Amino acid sequence: MTEQSITPDLPTAPGGIAVVTGAGGGIGGAIVTELARAGYTVAACDLNVEAAQRALTEAGTDKGGAYRVDVSDSAGVAEVVTAIEHDLGPIRVLVNNAGIDKIEPFVDSTEETWRRIVDVNYLGTVIVTRSVLDHMIARSYGRIVNIASDAGRVGSSGEVVYSGTKGAVIAFGKALARETATQNITVNTVCPGPTDTPLLDQVAQQSQKRYDALSRAVPMKRIGTPADISPAVSFFAHPNAGYVTGQTLSVSGGLTMA
C-alpha cells in the first residue's frame, strides 16, 4: 500500500481569528474595521486596552475581544496569545502593527529613545510573530502581515532610528517568508506613506511647511488616511493570496514607486 501525503484542510474564504497589535491607533483601528467587515473575529491588542476596545466598538462588531499587551514583553505576549486561542480559537492571521516614534534630529535623540523604538517596532514584531508561529506551523496555515513604513525603504529625516527599525521589519518578513513558504504560511509587509495619524501630527507641530510639502509631493496630492492602508492588509490576509509571500507593498498615493 502506497503512503499518501495528507493535505491540510485550508480555508478558502476570510474568517477565523485575526490578531492585530497596535489596534488602538489610527491605522490599527482601520485594520480592525477592515478585517471585521471581511468576516474575521478580531483580537484587538494594544498597551491601551480601552483604545483597543474602542476600535472593536467602532468596527461595529460584537465578536472578538480587546487584550492589553506590551509587544516588547515576551512573557506577557505569550500569555496573551494563549488567552486569545483559549477565548476565541486558533489564530489564522497576525497583523504586526504596533509601533512608536519620536520625530527629532538624530543628534538630539537619546539612547533611551532608541532602545524603546527598537524594542517596540522591531523586537515587538519578532516577539509576537514567534509567539504565534508554532500554532500556525502545527496547523499548516497562517497569514502574517507586518506594517512597516516607506521610511524603512527610502529613509526619513527626523526619523532615523525609526527608519532603521522599519527597514529591519521588511528584511525580517522576507527572511521568514522563505522559511515558512512550504507550510502554507505567508509573510508580507505593508509600507504606509505619509498618513493622517498622531505620528504625522508631530511633523505638523514641528513644521507646517514640511507637512504641506509632504502633501504636495504625493502624486495624488493628499495625505493618506488609515482607511487607505487597511485594504492592503486585507488582501495579504486573504486565503486566496496564498501564492504571495515575501512582498513589500507601499501604500503612498504614488509617492514611493519601488
Q: One-letter amino acid identity for 186?
A: T
In the set 40, 141, 162, 243, the catalytic residue is 162
Chain centroid to Cα 234, Å, comes to: 11
Cα gap 40→17, rounded to integer Å = 6
Q: Report whether 42 contacts 32 (CB < 8 A).
A: yes
H-only helix segments in 39-73: 49-59
CA angle 233, 234, 239 (to 5 degrees): 120
Phi then psi for 69, rounded to 5 degrees? -150, 140
3-state SS assignment for residue 252: coil
211 catalytically annotated = no
Cell 491588542 locates to 45
Place of cell 486565503: 239
Q: Which residue has the cell 496573551?
A: 80
Treating both helix axes as pointing N-terminal to C-terminal, what angle do 124-139 and 160-180 enclose, rounded to 10 degrees?
10
User: Which sequence positions are flagged as catalytic?
Assistant: 162
